[in-house]
Amino acid sequence: MERRKYPLYFSFPAVAVFLLFFIAPTLIGVYYSFTDWNINADSVTFIGFDNYAALFQEPRLGKALSNTLIFAAAVTVLQNAIGLALALVMNESIKMRNFFRMVFFMPYVIAPIVIGYVFRAIYHPEHGIVNTILNGIGLDFMAQDWLNDPKWALFSIIVTDLWRVSGFTMVIYLAGLQFIPKDLLESASIDGASYWHRLKNIVLPLIASSTTVNILLSLIGSMKVFEMVMVLTDGGPGYTTEVFYTYIRSTFSMGQMGYSTAINLVLFALVTLVGIPVLTALKKREVEM
Amino acid sequence: MKKMKTVSIVLVLGLLMTLLAACGGGNNEGSGGASPSGSAGASEGAKNSDPVTLTFVISNTEDTTAFTKVFEAYEQQTGNKVELQALPGGDYDNLIKTRFSTGDFSDLFLMQPGTKQYVKLRAEETLHEWSGESGVWDNVIDSIKQAQVENDKIYGVPYGSTGMMGVFYNKEVFKQAGVDVPKNYADLIEIAKKIKAAGFTPFYEGVKDAWPPQVFYYTGWVTQVDPAIGEEGVAKLNRNELKFTDIPELKDLFAKQKELKELDLYQKNVMAGTYDEMQNEMGDGKVAMAFMLDGIISQMEQKFGKDWVANNLGFFPFPSETDQGTAMITPPNQLMVPEKAKNRDAAIELVKFMLQPENVDLFYANKPGIPIFEGATSELYPVQEDVKAFIDAGKSQVNIQNRLTASFVDFSKTLQNFFLDGDIDKAIGEFSANYQKDGKAKLLEGF
């Protein structure tokens, strides 16, 4: 079949919109990260790498960086593990399957801010449901001040975010699972392949493209985490759960626009640095059906 | 056919003229609204033939009842309307700054007190200057007026009541524990120990909410730091010639807060403490004291009623080593008018209207507090009378935050960390560094 070709100029409007609303603001942002743009100043002056130099001397950046990376790594791995497990169960012929699918997906459509406020109550050290249950079943020693103890605060945020996003991951894995031909799995089963072998040798390779999408989305999304941290701990207690965006927010509040833009670009570079190798590695293991 | 063409032309011309006339009318209305003649009516007391609608921006954390009453009187007298726009309190400053940077000026807005706001809003370029304005300063108490002056200029008109910070306490709990207000700081600790022994929580601190622990330092400052460094010391801090780390009396405040924690005088789970829970526990008679600001009065009134506040809520300043200490007061919020406001002149007249004695009294009738206007009357709670007694006795001082141009950025975060690790040197070092960072960000001289 001959492939129909369209003239190049058909793409011009789309390219123009992309240049105007995506590329141009990004380039302008890059420029401003090299300036002293400050809402208290009359003019904007080019200052070279001064913002970046100041940023890398800031002790809060180290904490924000490590917290962001810990959060991203934990959420990406666990979100995919939970999402895949849920998808495998929800792909089986079980009673009320559609209802359960909806229940697992529902947290994703609730605004993170709302979830944050609900979990603040759930985690309350004295009146929260978590500690009430632990105390009720005799596990008092496990009761913690979940959001205000630096040992547990980041962990609590991770758990909350997993509850919110795992259903979304499940849906993408489910879509991948639906495309696997049933006769392939049945013939493997007849040949005596165990569930684990079928999963390892047929299911996982054939849903590799879903894995690529899920891992990339969760990696990028979790590196940009903001609302959940802001509502649950606001980066606290102190700076113990500070992430990139809570730090960026505080610098914007001080009116340091050039400096804030520089931090944004560092985050952009970080996401790119982490994202591209992961994408390349994941793409390599995708198989064509 | 010719006739039809003529009629059509006449009709089209007629329509065009009507449209143009309508446009012209609109323009007249618009310009009339902003004209000084239109606003003059406000001061003359006659209704405007060409009324305007003024926009008044306020934080949604403010109770607007009293303002609404005054604006109703204004509308009745002038025919002008005032539209209230309540912006989210948490981001109020940023929203105002954003609106300023995009030229989206309201006609009038309420801002926190002090000259610090002038820097934030670049007042010299953006705001109306009030120092020489007639009909504004006649009744304002001089010390409140002076708190607004920078380089002989005033860009905001104080409006409302004197605020206060200090130790608020439950009188009933004190009675049950058999203690009275402290005579000095050592006495305060002894009282707290007795309260604990009687089965009550001596102090409540809302560390989770981050801002409440700061009150300990602001109210402690006027009692302990001000007498040590004097006016010159404050001026030096303003010029960045004196560092917080070089003030032993300030360092001692950190030591004092640490001592309260080590003596176990705060509530259980102090890191999870919130302002809301503090009110509930104090109202329920479980908590005896809190280092707090006067917002607690209206909050307790809402939760426990006027009688509870009148009979149960008490106040004393942060005690010094030798006496009862100094009451920390804050000037009220200030009214500001942008120079480029659409209805600037009418807004100026509205401010003057609000400052008329009968309207000041109308304001206090709906929002009682310690007046900042001479001759004004306001019904006060005993807890407010207690502060007024300190003011009248000359034992009061304005909050240090309202006397410095740079801000105590992220102080609440520093204090959360301090509650966790108890490292005094680290906390005061961070406090000092953040203050200097803010001065630098605001491009202040000396930073």
pLDDT tens for B69-100 read: 999 999 999 999 999 999 887 678 888 988 88
pLDDT tens for A172-191 read: 999 999 999 989 999 999 99
Contact check, Cβ <8 Å, B268/A145: no
Contacts of A237 in chain B (CB under 8 A): 207-208, 271, 416-417, 419-420
Q: Who among A41, A124, A250 is closest to B443 (CB)?
A: A41
Contact check, Cβ <8 Å, B417/A238: yes
Quick one: tokens of B316?
């004393």
pLDDT tens for A186-209 read: 999 999 999 999 999 999 999 999
B31 touches chain A (CB under 8 A): no
Phi, psi of B4 (to 5 degrees): -60, -40
User: What's the mean pLDDT when you consider all of chain A?
Assistant: 93
Contacts of B269 in chain A (CB under 8 A): 125-126, 145, 148
Contacts of B268 in chain A (CB under 8 A): 126
Residue from B95, B144, B27, B54 nearest B348 by CA: B54
CA atoms of B315 and B168, how far apart (whole Å): 5
Candidates A130, A234, A241, A243, partner chain B, best to mutate (most B CBs within 10 A): A234
pLDDT at B5: 56
B98 touches chain A (CB under 8 A): no
Contacts of B427 in chain A (CB under 8 A): none
Biggest alpha carbon distance in chain A?
Answer: 77
Contact check, Cβ <8 Å, B417/A237: yes
pLDDT at B29: 36
pLDDT exceeds cutoff 90 at A270: yes
**Would you tell me the crossing angle of helices A208-223 and A150-178 to the nearest 10 degrees?**
150
CA atoms of B248 and B244, how far apart (whole Å): 9
Residue of B nearest to A242 (CA): B413
pLDDT at B9: 55
B276 touches chain A (CB under 8 A): no
Contact check, Cβ <8 Å, B210/A254: no
Contacts of B122 in chain A (CB under 8 A): 40
**Could you please report the per-residue DSSP string of chain A?**
-PPP---GGGGHHHHHHHIIIIIHHHHHHHHHTTB---TT-SS--B-TTHHHHHHHT-HHHHHHHHHHHHHHHHHHHHHHHHHHHHHHHHTS--TTHHHHHHHHHHHHHS-HHHHHHHHHHHT-TTT-HHHHHHHHTT-GGG---TTTSHHHHHHHHHHHHHHHHHHHHHHHHHHHHHTS-HHHHHHHHHTT--HHHHIIIIIHHHTHHHHHHHHHHHHHHHHT--HHHHHHTTT-STTTT--HHHHHHHHHHTT-HHHHHHHHHHHHHHHHHHHHHHHHHHHHT----
Its pTM stands at: 0.77
CA atoms of B90 and B252, how far apart (whole Å): 31
Quick one: tokens of B117?
């706001």
pLDDT tens for A122-147 read: 999 888 999 999 999 999 999 999 99
**What is the mean predicted confidence (pLDDT) over A82-88?**
97
B272 touches chain A (CB under 8 A): yes
Cβ B212 vs Cβ B257: under 8 Å: no
Sheet containing B53-59: order of strands: B81-87, B53-59, B108-111, B334-336, B157-158
B106 touches chain A (CB under 8 A): no
Query: How far is B107 from chain A, CA to nearest CA, in Å?
Result: 22
B373 touches chain A (CB under 8 A): no
pLDDT at A110: 95
DSSP-derived secondary structure letter, B209: T
CA atoms of B221 and B3, how far apart (whole Å): 91
DSSP-derived secondary structure letter, B191: H
Q: Who among B119, B122, B210 is closest to A236 (CB)?
A: B210
DSSP-derived secondary structure letter, B439: H
pLDDT at A126: 85
Quick one: tokens of B330?
């804050």
Residue from B405, B408, B411 nearest B446 by CA: B405
Please report the sign of the dihedral spanned by the C-alpha atoms of residue A39, residue A43, residue A48, residue A53.
negative
Contact check, Cβ <8 Å, B441/A256: yes
CA atoms of B406 and B444, how far apart (whole Å): 8
Quick one: tokens of B262?
């080590």
B271 touches chain A (CB under 8 A): yes
Q: Who among A125, A237, A240 is closest to B269 (CB)?
A: A125
Would you tell me how many other CB atoms lie within 10 Å of the CB of residue B126? 18
Query: How far is A234 from chain B, CA to nearest CA, in Å?
Result: 9
Residue from A177, A223, A194, A270 nearest A68 by CA: A223
pLDDT exceeds cutoff 90 at A262: yes
Which single residue is written with the structure tokens 């606003």? B39
Contact check, Cβ <8 Å, A148/B414: no
Alpha carbon B403 to its chain centroid, in Å, reads 14
Residue of B nearest to A150 (CA): B420
pLDDT at A203: 95
Of the pLDDT bands very low, low, confident and very high (cuts 50, 70, 90), residue A289 is low
pLDDT at B46: 58
Quick one: tokens of A118?
């609900």
pLDDT at A236: 85
Write out the H or E segment, with its range, that includes residue B57: strand B53-59
For chain B, residues with pLDDT lower than 70 are 1-47, 90
Q: Who among A40, A237, A254 is closest to B416 (CB)?
A: A237
Amino acid code (one letter) for B336: M
**What is the mean predicted confidence (pLDDT) over A19-27?**
95
pLDDT at A284: 87
Query: How big is the A-B interface in CB pairs under 8 Å?
Result: 63
Residue from A142, A151, A145 nearest A127 by CA: A145
Cβ A164 vs Cβ A108: under 8 Å: yes
Which single residue is written with the structure tokens 């849903």? A207
Contacts of B119 in chain A (CB under 8 A): 40
Candidates B124, B442, B445, partner chain A, best to mutate (most A CBs within 10 A): B442
ipTM above 0.85, yes or no: no
pLDDT at B39: 40
Contacts of B419 in chain A (CB under 8 A): 237
Query: How far is B427 from chain A, CA to nearest CA, in Å?
Result: 11
**What is the mean predicted confidence (pLDDT) over A260-286?**
92
pLDDT exceeds cutoff 90 at A244: yes
Quick one: tokens of B378?
């306001």
